Structure 1
Amino acid sequence: MDRDADGALWLLLHTGSRGVGAAIADHHGRVARALGEGGLPALDIHTAEGAACLADTQWACRFALANREAIAARALDVLEEALGVAADPASAVDVHHNHVALEEHGGRMLWVHRKGAVGLQAGQRGLIPGSMGTASYVVEGRGEPRAFRSCSHGAGRVLTRAEARARIRPAALEHVLRRVVYDKGRAAALVEEAPAAYRDITEVLEDEADLVRPLLRLTPLAVLKG
């Protein structure tokens, strides 16, 4: 749960197709390797195998969206009852950050695979999250063609999960999250998600100034990590 400068509350969710998506990727990876000749595994979209891969990938994106919508609906019901206010559906922002899409770039139709990246048309809203203890931003795409009209999915890590567990003490996490509501009993397990494990979100936005324009700065109030 985050808050913007005007005091409006924002519910942020980060989840996708989870195990279903991983199973789809594993299956079609095996198919591609079996059909290949020892090079980089690939599937021709004009074959039955390639068409099946695309169909399953698109289904996984729909599953991921339905997953987020189901979680949001249950969370918003609780929040609306507790706070006595209704959510604004028009303010919703939803983006995929691991998917493939057929797009026009440079006068050609291309299959674009984004991994840890978000596709944003000029004027389209997106979200670049920071970490559980730092700001996140609602942004607007600039439609930069050199970046295939894309931006980063988030701040990005500077420490792997293993490095974060080795270097960051639970006490340090508790200090930096002293103004955020979270499960303090899980501090030792949550150090891998500590703000220090991620890049500075301000620097990230500066680096992406040609790609997006910040619209809203969201400050974390409460965090629930699964």
Structure 2
Amino acid sequence: GMFIGSYDIMRKAALRIRKAALDLEVSRVMVGECGHAWRVAYSFWNTLTGVGAGATDEYALKLQNQLDSRYPQPQHIIEYTHDLIQRGKLKFDKSENDDRNVTFHDSCNVARATNMGGIPNGQFILPREVIKAVCNNYVDMERSTIKESTFCCGGGGGLLTDDLMEIRIKGAMPRMQALKEVEKTDGVNTLVAICAICKSQFSKVLPKFDFDPYMIVSAHQLVSEAIIMEKPQTDDSVTQEAEEVTE
């Protein structure tokens, strides 16, 4: 709803999420790597739906009682993954991403209208800490072009259509110039964003600035490439281990 500037549609979509949460009896409501979704969830879901204290209708109060207060409500998937990393619940082989020299684009909605982790500037800190936990080669772009001073990807605000490609290319130019600098100085070949619009926009405009269109990835793509998936124990393996201990 926010994407097209309609409060009514935004509320209608949010109430669908509330209904699903109530029907499924979930303890957490989590938001993926989407800038508009996280901005709406972080800023409006409390009064729109009762995900977080705020709304006072019967179903909002029911949901507030149902959700687990030990976790942020709602919770961004970056917060979820960051928490697991901090508690040592995930294991990574960072060398799986050694072919990548990585930088991060702060998406507008996340950077300017939300927070993560309940700490000042958490929306800047947590994504970078997740990325650094799964890759060895990370560098930020020029400080004046990131975090609270970030540039727009050039495809937000309803511009994400091929009919407006010329405007999209011009809008992306400041970010592309900053990216070109770290490509020259640090060999950056991977650009991470946690916003679907940014990723879609960059995949189209990167070639216009002589970049590989496939260099744009999500943070959790890097996580998935580095994560070590341990083989679950079967009954046979448990029995074998017990016999070895006995011997």
Q: TM-score, normalised by structure 1?
A: 0.31
Q: TM-score, normalised by structure 2?
A: 0.29
The structure carrying a bigger helix percent of its residues is: 2
Largest Rg, 1 or 2:
2
The structure carrying a bigger strand percent of its residues is: 1
